[in-house]
Structure formats: C-alpha cells, structure tokens
Structure 1
C-alpha cells in the first residue's frame, strides 16, 4: 500500500492517465484499432529529445552557462531578470519542465547566497510563467507543442506565426515584472565552480539534439532519429538511457488510448465537436485549468481542425491554476522544500500572477485570431 502511495506521489499524472485509459475501455473494448490511436512519431521524438537534453544536463552545460551569466556584481533588478530569463529562453529548446528542474534550484542557491531569499516566491513564480510561455515558441518547447505540430502537420512558418506574437508580449510583461520594485547592488559569488564534464560527450548530445530537430521539422524520419539516438547512447553513454522519462512516454500512450476511445463514442464526439466549434481557444484554456494542458491537447485535438485555436489555448492555458501545466508542480515542489518556505503565500502570489497573465495573453490572442 505504501509503495502505491509513493508511486502516486511521484507519478500522479501517469496514474490518472492509466485509470482514464482503463475506464474508457468499458466504452470501447480493446481491439487492434487501439494501435491506430497511438502517435508513434510523437513518442519517438519525445524519446530522442529527452535523451539529448538529459545528456546535456548531465554534462553540466546549463549550470556552467548560468554561473557565467550571473557571477559578479549585479543590481537586484538585473539579477531577477537574469534568473527569470534563463528558463524563458532555455525552455524553447530543452522543454519547460527541464528548464524549471535546472534553474529553480539555481535561483534558490543564488538568492540564499546574496541574502535575498525573501524574494524567492516572486522569482520562482516568474520563472514558472517564463518557462511555460517561453516553451510555447518552438515545437520542441513542451509536449503539447510537439504533439499538436505533428497531429496537424503544421509547417514551421504556420507554427511560428501563431507563437511569436504571444511570446514577444510575454517577454515584455515578464521584463516589466522583473524590474518593478526597489533596487540595489549585490554581488554573486559561487563557492563551487561548475565545469563541463566531457566536451566530447557534450558534442555527441548536441548532435543528437540537432538530429531530433531535423526530424521535428520533417527533414528526417523519426525512425532514423530514434535508431541513431539509441545506438549512439548505447555505445557511448548508456547511463543517459536510464534518465529518459519513460513514465511520460507511458502517460502519452494512456492519453492516446483514452482520447481514441472517447472519440469513438458518437454522443461524446458530437458534443465536444459542437463545443469546440464555438470557441476552440476558450474551451482548451478552460480544460487545461482542470486536466492540464497536455491531456487537453491530446483529447480535444481529435474533435477540431482549428490548429491555431488549439495551439494558443493549450499554451496560454498552461497559466492559471497550479495544475494547468504539469511543469508548475515541479517549481512548487522545489519551493516547498526550501527552508522557511511560505507555501500559502507562494500559492497566493502564483495564482494572482498567473491569472493576470492569462487574462492579458488571452485577450491579446483573441485579437490575433480575428
């Protein structure tokens, strides 16, 4: 029983996705049709990207970069801006959850070293928003983008035409939040200097990441990218294969089965189709607040051809509640474990900032859809 509780705490989304998939099987009994539900291209690309990023993270490249940027005398405003923009820009390539796993603990360290821990709740909130919105820019920034770009077969130009305006506005709003308030000069000194573990290994992971990008943009088969990645890692860095989030891959399989079964029920199919035809972006935003944006993307995409509305809704919908984006739970857990963490204060700041940002970006996106 304790093992089950511990597993649920560690992988709550997989457990929920698995239960949803099993329950949906009572509506549509298991058959060979289930294979058709699964988007194997998305699974292959997710694996390749996670493996490459895990390898780069293992070599310490992100922490080395962060130390070089932050070391020395800085104004508090510039320090805050830097800590927030690190996950904003990095999430565009290494995904929002990896960006937060890397840079939220780093922010805790920096603010402790400089005696500015009282600002931690605000900084972590901004980092979370930054990662969730920065990741919107690219197809590889988060799982729902990878899925939607594959599902709707979006060309690069069409994809970026949707995401760039929102991300640019978000950058401006986040920068304004960072420079608000009092300002003074502080000095950042790190007791331990981070170093690249192996430049040769790092080169391998960078090449594998570029290979994955070629596949994302349909310039290379995902089968080839998967084969090269697995062979290269098995031969040169087998440890990285253990760091891939296989539960995330299993979660996607469960969501594919659930969405496929729900879509096979005519009454549900007609209902969701009618609702989404009224306002795809609005209902994908609302769904994300309850079931999170990744499952919302997988489920709702089966009932609409409005790729733009889905892309905007599930990305902007990552703002709002704590569960709207699973990446938000990562930063919350890290903050909650820090000494003297004020959880209720953090939730208040997080919710207020997210709701305001959600309203502003939704209004701007609604105008862009006209």
Structure 2
C-alpha cells in the first residue's frame, strides 16, 4: 500500500493525465487510432534520444568536473552564486532545464555543506536560471522541442528568434542574483574539485550528441533516435535502462489529453475566436495559460490555433516564471532541495521576475 501511495505521489502528473483521458473518453469517445494520431512522433522520438544522451553525459562526470573547476576559482558568495546560476543557464540550453537541475542542485547542496551559503536563495535562482537559459534552443525544454518541430524552421533559425528574450532574461537574472547575494569572501576547500571524468565515454556521448542534433535538424528524429539507441545499446546499455521512460508516457498522454480538450466544442470555439494569429494575443495566451496548466501543455494546446509560433514560444517561455506550476522545472527544483519554507519564498522572487519577463517579452513582440 505504501509503495502505491509513493508511486502516486511521485507520478502525480501521469495519474492526473490518465484520469483526464478516462473522463474525456467517457464524455466524447474516440478510437485508439484517433488517439495515437494526436501524438507528435517527432517530438517524442527527439525527447527519447535526448533522455538517453543526457543520462550518458551525466555518467561521464563531465558536468560535475566543469562546475567544480569553476567554483574553485570563485572567492565570494556572490561570485559563487553567479557561477552556479550561469552554469545552470548554459547547460540548460542543450541538456534541458530539468536535466540541468539534476546536475546543478546536488552540486549546490554539497557546496552549501562546505561553506556558509543560503541554499534556499541559491535553489530559487538556479530554478529561474534553467528556465531562462533553456529558452534559447530547441533542446532546452520540451515546449521548445515541440514548437521547433511544429514550426518547421531550422535549428539556427529557432535560436536566432529566441536569442533576444534569452539575453534580456539572463541579464535580469544576473542583476537579481547580485542583489540577493552578498560580496563577502568565502574559503572553498581544495578538495571540492577532485572529480574524475570518463574521457572516452564523454567523447562518444559528445560525438553522438552532435550527430543526433544534426539529424534532428533535418527532421529525421526516428533515425537520430535509432543512432542513439544503437551506440549506447552497444557501449553503455545500462544508460538506456536508467532513463525516465515514464516521462515519455507523460508527454504522449499530454498530446492526447490536451488535443482532445482543445477539440471539445466549448474550448475549440473559445480558442478559435480568440484571434491567436495576432502576435500579442498569442503571446499573452501562452503566458497566462502556462500559469494555469504549465508551459508544456499550454504550447501543445494553443499551437493548433495560431500560425505565430514565435509569439507563442515567447509566451510559454515567459509563462515558465511566476507561479510554480508555470514550469515543471520549478517543482523539480523544490523537490530536490532539502529546505523548509521554500514554496512561499520561491514566489517572492519568481512572481516579480515573471512581471519583468512579461514586460520584456511584450516589448520584443511589439518591436519584432
């Protein structure tokens, strides 16, 4: 019984989606073929490949080595916070915001055990950092991955479009970090940076990662995913077993449930008459809807009602800030950190940052 309760708590999103699917089928039954047709196969295959690749890179120890080499050169509380925040933002551009959290927050926890540093504030700015950094590329987060495939633009074209918003938000994050952390000197023990990297495994992962991105950019996700499975099925088969397969099930269900909801007459008429082909309306819809159902579901639900993918991408990106449910990365960050009272303190920083991000995004939408 305890194991069942633990599973429900751990996989609450999956359970909610399954219940929602059952309710929708009772309300408006659809065939299995129709439900499967709602799944975006390109996005799901690309996400599967990324899960394997990120797990493989994590196993090499390269991320911990890079972060700790940087930390060894920092001498102040503010500098340490900035290093971790910028490192988190940087790796989230290629390893997704969720994976970046699994890499950086454990490092922050271990550092906090060695030096006097506010873990609560550090976790909050790291959560904001991975959401901000992940905006830049199609690989940064699931909503970008989906919108990239839906838009049909090149990898480079997507990056150029999202770069202005990313740069402004990173600049704002730097200001925020400098404001809430002091410049007092820290003494970092020399033993912090003793991490061994499996160079051969890292080289294999890096080359495979580059090939996978190139293949995915040509919109041949199935071939890219096959390449990843073959490479690591031969050299690191345990990596494939360790990835979060249920996450793929969650995203498959998101496509089915949210597209089914969007097809309900009431919801369809509401979205269809909202004139979401007007850029500012698409932007506002993405930002506000994300605050209610999170930015990945918001992108999936609204994409079919607008041709303005750029404005929608800006909206759901901004929507990742503010209320914690805006991005699943926020919830993951709070779950990973063993800190009490994090929920309300998170919102004391995240809500003002959402206002800043919303204004910046609106200005860029108007200017572009």
TM-score normalised by L of structure 2 = 0.92
Q: Which residue number in structure 1 is paired with residue 319 of structure 2?
A: 317
Residues 12 and 66 from structure 1, CA distance in 2 versus in 1: closer, same or farther, beyond 3 angstroms?
A: same
1:24 aligns with 2:19: no
In angstroms, what is the RMSD of aligned CA positions?
A: 1.8
Partner residue, 1:154: 153
| Residue equivalent to 2:67 | 66
User: What's the offset of the Cα at 1:51?
Assistant: 0.5
Deviation at 1:157, TM superposition (A): 4.8
Instruction: Give 3-state SS (helix, strand or coil) of 2:196's partner.
Output: coil
Query: In structure 1, how many angstroms separate the alpha carbons of the residues matched to 2:294 and 2:174?
Result: 26
Question: Per chain length, whose mean CA-contact separation is higher, i.e. which structure has more relative contact order (CA < 8 Å, sep 6+)?
Answer: 1
What is the rounded CA distance, in whole Å, between the counterparts of 1:30 and 1:239 in structure 2?
36
Partners of 1:237 and 1:93 in 2: CA distance: 21
305, 325, 350: which one aligns with 1:354: 350
| Superposition deviation, residue 292 in structure 1 | 1.1
Are 1:165 and 2:161 counterparts?
A: no
Mapped pair 1:189 → 2:189: yes
Measured at CA, do residues 75 and 284 of structure 1 come closer, stay the same or move farther in structure 2, by a change above 3 Å? same
Q: What is the CA–CA distance in structure 1 between the aligned matches of 2:172 and 2:68, rounded to whole Å?
A: 25
Match of 1:332 among 316, 331, 334: 334
d(CA) in 1 for partners of 2:74, 2:224: 44
Contiguous gaps of at least 5 residues in structure 2: none
Counterpart residue number, 1:143:
142
SS of 2:186's partner is strand
Counterparts of 1:1-370 in structure 2, within 5 Å, are 1-26=1-26, 27-72=28-73, 74-116=75-117, 119-180=118-179, 181-189=181-189, 191=191, 193-196=194-197, 198-218=198-218, 221-275=220-274, 277=276, 279-335=281-337, 337=338, 341-343=339-341, 346-370=342-366
Give deviations 1:219-248, integer Å, cap 9, x for gaps: x62121111111111111110001222111
Determine the C-alpha separation between the residues in 1 that align with 2:31 and 2:2: 31
Distance in 2 of aligned mates of 1:46 and 1:108 = 28
- Maintained 8 Å contact 2:74/2:80: no
Q: For residues 234-270 of structure 1, give each alpha carbon's deviation from its aligned partner in whole angstroms, at most 9, with x where no partner exists.
A: 1111100012221111111111111332343334212
Report the TM-score, using the length of structure 1 for normalisation. Answer: 0.92
Would the aligned equivalents of 2:259 and 2:300 in 1 still touch at CA under 8 Å? no
* Residues 254 and 69 (structure 1), Cα distance of their counterparts in 2 relative to 1, 3 Å cut: same
Change (3 A) 1:73 1:269: closer
Indicate how the Cα distance of structure 1 residues 32 and 238 shifts in structure 2: closer, same or farther if over 3 A, else same: same
Secondary structure of residue in 2 paired with 1:74? coil
Q: Which runs of 4+ in 1 moved over 6 A?
A: none
1 CA distance for matches of 2:74 and 2:156? 41
Question: Quick check: 1:77–1:179 contact (8 Å CA) kept in 2?
Answer: yes
* Deviation, structure 1 residue 290: 1.8
> Structure 1 CA distance, aligned partners of 2:110 and 2:71?
12
Give the Cα–Cα distance (whole angstroms) in 2 for the partners of residues 72 and 89 of structure 1. Answer: 18
Give the C-alpha shift of residue 47 in structure 1. Answer: 0.8
Moved more, 183-192 or 32-41: 183-192
